[in-house]
Amino acid sequence: RPATSEDASEIAKLYISTDSEKIAGIFRDNLDGANQVLTNQFTEFYEGIYVLTDGEALIGAMKIHLPGRTSGKTLSLRSLISILGWRKGLRAALLLGSWDEYELQAGEAYLEFLYVDPEWQGYGGGKLLINKAIELSAQSNAEYLSLYSATYNYKARGLYEGAGFIIRRKMFSPIAKLLGANASWVKQCYFITEAP
């Protein structure tokens, strides 16, 4: 179902609990700050986020940018600095910007994140969210759905490859390397127009 502002704290907890390369790189050693930043972000900006639930429990979430629709952006630099301090806030803004303010290409839908609670991984929740992302992309007349996976996160890459995604290119971020975050990513794409 589409997320609401009331889901914000649970989405933030999920985001942090998955040991994401993004979280580890952006908010390392400051999980309280990460929780506050993400809860604030998802309270205000929840457009494009969908959640997977089991009863009342939120067990998965994804954020998708679709052609012709607005998706929520990151908090302002001022907000990041007020929560994390100058140095960590500026660092977070530099690392978050490339993911959350991604500019869609013609015919593209973009999956910014997809996380399943570690206790629920392996039960098909990731596949359900991927299928929903593909369905939403097709309904929006996107030609393909793209996402970025950490180069050495073979578990995530395998999940997407099993769903029909292919690697289109590799990306290296000198800024992320300089800031001590994961700097090596692959862009994976699912071509909707070629799907059976």
pLDDT tens digits, 142-166: 999 999 888 888 788 888 999 999 9
Model confidence band, residue 172 (pLDDT cutoffs 50, 70, 90):
confident
Which has more pLDDT, 4 or 84? 4
Report d(CA 116, CA 54) in Å as an integer.
12
pLDDT reported for residue 89: 75
How far is residue 21's CA from residue 26's CA, in Å, rounded to a whole number?
8
Q: How many residues does the chain have?
A: 196
Q: Which residues contact 7 (CB under 8 A, 6 or more apart)?
A: 42, 46, 49, 51, 58, 61
Residue 140 confidence (pLDDT) above 90: yes
- Whether 65 and 18 have beta carbons less than 8 Å apart is answered as no
Tokens of 1: 């179902």
**Which residue has tokens 């607005």?**
70
Q: What is the pLDDT of residues 31-54, one digit of tens each?
A: 787 788 888 888 988 889 999 999
Amino acid at 191: F
Q: Which residue has the higher pLDDT, 15 or 132?
A: 132
- Token pair 């998802």 is at which residue? 42
What is the model's pLDDT at position 146? 95
Q: What is the DSSP letter of 5?
A: G
Give the span between the Cα atoms of 42 and 34, in whole angstroms: 12
pLDDT at residue 134, as a whole number: 96
Render pLDDT for 59-91 as a digit per residue (tens, 0 to 9): 999 999 999 877 666 566 677 777 777 777 777
3-class state of residue 11 by DSSP: helix
**Cβ neighbour number for residue 179 with a 10 Å cutoff:** 17
The average confidence (pLDDT) of the chain is: 83
Choose among 98, 82, 99: nearest CA to 90: 82
